[in-house]
Amino acid sequence: MTRRVRTVFISDVHLGTRACQAERLLEFLREYDAERLFLVGDILDFDAMKRRGVYWTAAQNTVVQKILKRARHHVEVVFVPGNHDEGAREHVGVSFGNIRVVGEWLHTAADGRRYLLMHGDELEVAAKYHRLLALLGDHAYEMVVRLNILLARLRRLVGIPGYWSFSGFAKRRVKRALRFIEDFEDAAVRHARERRVDGIICGHIHAAALRRIDGIEYLNCGDWVDSCTGIVEHVDGRMELVHSSGPTAVAADDTPAKQEAAAAFEGVPPRCANPVAAAHPEPSKPEREIEPHAEGGTSVRVREPAS
């Protein structure tokens, strides 16, 4: 059944790649009929298409056609390019097929709260210098332990002395990734505060989230590679983070425990940093766990346990 909402926000679709879960995005778009549709960056993945060639399915083509159709039928469609489709940034201020291309956007919700929309790569300064290795954790830990045993046997068979723990290696990488996630969120919140807005809506790190941090609403759309999440604004201005298989989210002003449950569909590509690390320290965030990501080791899924 189609649900009528005021606004839909999606990011990190990565059309043109094998990783794109276009079918699930289509389910999401069919479920939510909105007055406004915001495409918050990395909708197309020009980088991957240049490196590995174009992978384009009928479902991906249908996604494009559905967006264009909505733009023709009086849905306000705004595209904020990201780093994977940054070629579109050359056309900021131009409209293509009733789709407006902007560098960033100030969205006023129905309840009067103001949200800054940006992809989020602008907030990181270390992406071009550092890239984490693929991470494992959470429910894969048992598999990792078994792999440790197998590796130990192999090392003994070939006469390699000592012990090397794959799970320990993965845990060290997990901790680094979590620090990067928190740095990104801190940078986003500080940027929103500097812009004197009530909240920020972004993407980029494939880490779906909806929470209040030190009085600022932090919303991350997630992605359509792993977590398959988007954000919807209801007619009363209430924001909700939803999964393609159904609502799995809470309003931004709900209880902390429910807010943490909304982060169950998080996934992170390993590149983010805090460009303003010295200013305005934020309260610490709860500990997180990580699930494996299947697409080339470039992102991971993050699961935050409810407090």
Q: What is the C-alpha separation between 180 and 178, in angstroms, rounded?
A: 5
Between the CA of residue 264 and those of 8, 27, 287, what are the distances in Å? Answer: 20, 20, 13
**Comparing 31 with 292, which gets the higher pLDDT?**
31
- On the question of pLDDT at 14 being above 70, the answer is yes
Contact call for residues 28 and 249 (beta carbons, < 8 A) = no
Element (H, E) at 99: strand 99-101
Burial classification of residue 206, based on how many CB atoms lie within 10 Å of its CB (0-12 exposed, 13-18 middle, 19 or more buried): buried
| CA–CA dist 299, 14 (Å, integer) | 13
pLDDT for 53 beyond 50: yes
Which pLDDT band holds residue 10 (cuts at 50, 70, 90)?
very high
CB 202 within 8 A of CB 40: yes
Average pLDDT, the chain: 75
Summarize pLDDT for 134-150 with one digit per residue, the tens. 343 334 444 554 565 56
- The Cα–Cα gap between 266 and 218 comes to 14
What backbone torsions phi and psi does residue 217 show, to the nearest 5 degrees?
Answer: -80, 120
Give pLDDT, residue 169. Answer: 54
- pLDDT, one tens digit per residue, over 220-263 is 999 999 889 999 999 999 999 998 864 433 344 333 333 333 33
CA 286 to chain centre: 18
Mean pLDDT score, 12-34: 94
Q: Which residue has the higher pLDDT, 124 or 165?
A: 124
Mean pLDDT of the 53-57 span? 92
The lowest-confidence range among 153-157, 213-217, 275-279 is: 275-279
Cα 137 to its chain centre, rounded Å, is: 19
Residue 156 or 203, more confident? 203
Task: Note the pLDDT tens digit of each residue in 185-225.
Answer: 888 998 999 999 999 999 998 889 999 999 999 999 999 99
| pLDDT recorded at residue 138 | 37
In the chain, % of residues over pLDDT 70: 64
Hey, which residues does 99 pair with through a beta bridge?
A: 77, 96
pLDDT reported for residue 72: 93
Residue 98 or residue 281, greater confidence: 98
Supply the pLDDT for residue 32.
Answer: 95
> How far, in Å, are 25, 47, 140, 265 from residue 226 at the CA level?
11, 18, 16, 8
Q: How many angstroms separate the CA atoms of 20 and 13, rounded?
A: 6
Give me the half-sphere count of Cα atoms (radius 13 Å) on the Cβ side of residue 154. 8
pLDDT score recorded for residue 236: 96
How large is the average pLDDT for residues 33-54?
93
Give the chain's domains with CATH numbers. Answer: 3-120+184-255 (3.60.21.10)
According to the model, what pLDDT value does residue 227 have? Answer: 86
Mean pLDDT, to the nearest integer, of 153-177?
A: 61
Amino acid at 288: R
The pLDDT of residue 287 is 41
35 phi, psi to nearest 5 deg: -80, -25
Cβ contact 264:136 at 8 Å: no
pLDDT score of 149: 53
pLDDT of residue 282: 43
C-alpha to C-alpha distances, 86 to 45, 122, 161, 283, nearest whole angstrom? 9, 11, 49, 33
